[in-house]
Amino acid sequence: MTNAAESWNGARFEPKSKAGHYESWFVRANGLHGDAFWIRYTIFSPRGAPQDAVGELWAIAFTSKGIVAVKEEHPIAGCSFARERLDVRIGKATLDGESVRGGATANGHTIAWDLRYAGDDPPIFLLPQRLYAARFPRAKTLVNRPLAAFNGYVAVDGGALEVADWTGSQNHNWGSRHTDRYAWGQVAGFDEDPRAFLECSTARLRIGPAWTPQLTTAVLRLGDETLAFNGLMRAARAPAAYRPYEWHFETRGEVDRLTVSFGGRPGDFVALRYPNPPGGTKICLNSKVARCDVRLARRGGQEIVLHSSRAAFEILDDEAPAGVTPTV
């Protein structure tokens, strides 16, 4: 594992702080035939009540038989989080820089996992790096291990799903509150270029009674070249629109123009309840089998077109769409 990824994976959680905190480390990957998994290890500490902090295990399996999602809570006393490296334990479930092992049960379903993963691509920062130590924005996110290769199994209600060189990522996010509203997307390998990686978001933040404009940031890595469309002024100027279950944006760099679309069927998504440290609950529409189309217009008229049906795509808001009931 690279030293850079080691340092960025350390826990930010302060057990005695009353400010409120959430922090998640998640892995996700896709197979070649439409299957996918997402596994998240989370700290949740409500504002003003650090004694009520818990560790959470989340898991979703996307298979030909449907989507199964589980969430399991553990007392924070039964959890541990290293500050200098990736070394997380929630109950008996563990996550480090080489493996992820554990299981969770909810609503009559059980998902268990035993996976090893590896990859040496450098981290991807969705925000300018200077903002990761700043007060604004309150929520931070980065990809510690892009294009990680996963091997092992994910068992859904006792039926094992073999994971053999599935491509995905290991990620870390944290903050004192969730981003108020967002669309987020990630693609770990496209049909035309298995080594290309995309991380992107369109978000609105509430500051007191006022709302920011939509802020769209994106990072596209093509081999050894990383194209970052993530400056704050550029983010505010980028046109974007999203709704269940689609999202489109366009952003420009100094010489490049990036156009991106995400979409999926309602049946490709599951709705999750995310508790918010200041209080209340956010609803996340979560898919790891969405489609994504990318068009990059470059200097000199060169154009790169990329497609994937193995995209991660989420929408976070205060309420679920009409007719949708959160699973966990």
Q: Across the strands, what pairs with 101?
A: 94, 114
Put residue 83 in one of left, alpha, beta given phi > 0 → left and psi -120 to 50 → alpha.
alpha
Query: What pLDDT sits at residue 163?
Result: 98
Q: Across the strands, what pairs with 105?
A: 110
| Cβ contact 54:275 at 8 Å | no
Establish if 325 belongs to a structural domain.
no
19: how many CB neighbours lie within 10 A of its CB? 13
**DSSP annotation of 20:** -
Establish if 77 belongs to a structural domain.
yes
Instruction: Give 122-176 pLDDT, tens digit per residue.
Output: 999 999 999 999 988 889 999 999 999 999 999 999 999 999 999 999 999 999 9
Establish if 147 belongs to a structural domain.
yes
Establish if 226 belongs to a structural domain.
yes
Establish if 109 belongs to a structural domain.
yes
Establish if 328 belongs to a structural domain.
no
Establish if 235 belongs to a structural domain.
yes
User: Residue 191 sits in which domain range?
Assistant: 3-317
Count of structural domains, the chain: 1
Establish if 326 belongs to a structural domain.
no
Instruction: Give 195-240 pLDDT, tens digit per residue.
Output: 999 999 999 998 888 999 999 999 999 999 999 999 999 999 999 9
